[in-house]
Structure 1
Amino acid sequence: MLIQAEQLRAETDLILRGAGSSAEEAAIVADHLVEANLRGHDSHGVGVLPAYIRNIGAGRLRPNRHAEFLRQDPTIAVVDGGMGFGQVVAREATDWTIGAAKESGLALLALRNVHHIGRVGSYGEQAAAAGLIMLAFVNGISGAPRVAPHGGREPRTGTNPICIAVPHGDAPVVLDFATSRIALNKVRVARNEGRHVAPGSIITHEGEPSTDPEVLYGEGPRGALLSFGEHKGSGLSLICELLGGALAGGGAAQRADAADPAIINGMTAIVIDPGRVVDLPWFAREVEAVVAHMKTAASIDPDRPVMVAGDPERASRARRLAEGIPVDATTWREIGKAAASVGVVLKAV
Structure 2
Amino acid sequence: MVTINSQKLMGFVSEIFSRAGSSKAEADRIATYLTTANLTGHDSHGVIRVPKYVAWVQDGSIIPDQKIKIDVDTPSLAVIDGGFGYGQTVTPQAVKIGIEKCKANGVAVMTLKNSGHLGRVGDWAEMAAAEGLISIFFVNAAGSVLVAPYGGVGRKLSTAPYCVGIPRPGQGPVVLDFATSIVAEGKVMVASRGGKKLPKGALVDESGALTEDPHVLYGPYDAEGPRNHALGTGAIRAFGEHKGSGLALMCELLGGALTGNGATKTDRRFSNGMLAIFIDPKVVDPAHFFDGEVAR
Alignment of 1:80-95 (within 5 A): 80-95=81-96
1:281 has 2:288 as partner:
yes
TM-score (norm 2): 0.93
Contact 1:153–1:203 (8 Å) recurs in 2: yes
Alignment of 1:116-265 (within 5 A): 116-143=117-144, 145-168=145-168, 169-193=170-194, 196-219=197-220, 221-253=232-264, 255-257=265-267, 262-265=269-272
Q: CA shift at 1:195, angstroms?
A: 6.0
Deviations 1:113-169 (A, max 9, x none): 1111111000000000100000000001114x2100111100111100001000013
Provide the rounded CA distance (Å) in 2 between the counterparts of 1:251 and 1:187: 24
Deviations 1:170-217 (A, max 9, x none): 310000000000101101101101664111211111110111111112
Q: CA shift at 1:281, angstroms?
A: 3.2
Bigger CA radius of gyration: 1
C-alpha RMSD of the superposition? 1.3
Provide the rounded CA distance (Å) in 1 between the counterparts of 2:232 and 2:53: 25
Structure 1 counterpart SS, 2:139: strand
Deviations 1:43-96 (A, max 9, x none): 111110100111111011100102111111110001101100011101010001
Residue in structure 2 matched with residue 305 of structure 1 by the alignment: none
Structure 2 counterpart SS, 1:82: strand
Q: CA shift at 1:17, angstroms?
A: 0.4
1:65 has 2:66 as partner:
yes
Summarize the Cα distance change of 1:132–1:194 in structure 2 as closer, same or farther, 3 Å threshold: closer
Q: CA shift at 1:263, angstroms?
A: 3.0
Identity percentage over the alignment?
44
TM-score (norm 1): 0.79
Q: CA shift at 1:23, angstroms?
A: 1.1
Contact 2:218–2:232 (8 Å) recurs in 1: no
Higher strand share: 2
Higher helix share: 1
User: 2:15 is matched by which residue type in structure 1?
Assistant: L
In structure 1, the gaps of 5 or more residues are 290-349
In structure 2, the gaps of 5 or more residues are 221-230
Moved over 4 A (4+): none
**Count of residue pairs brought into register by the alignment:** 284
Provide the rounded CA distance (Å) in 2 between the counterparts of 1:280 and 1:158: 41
Structure 1 counterpart SS, 2:26: helix
Summarize the Cα distance change of 1:151–1:285 in structure 2 as closer, same or farther, 3 Å threshold: same
1:272 has 2:279 as partner:
yes
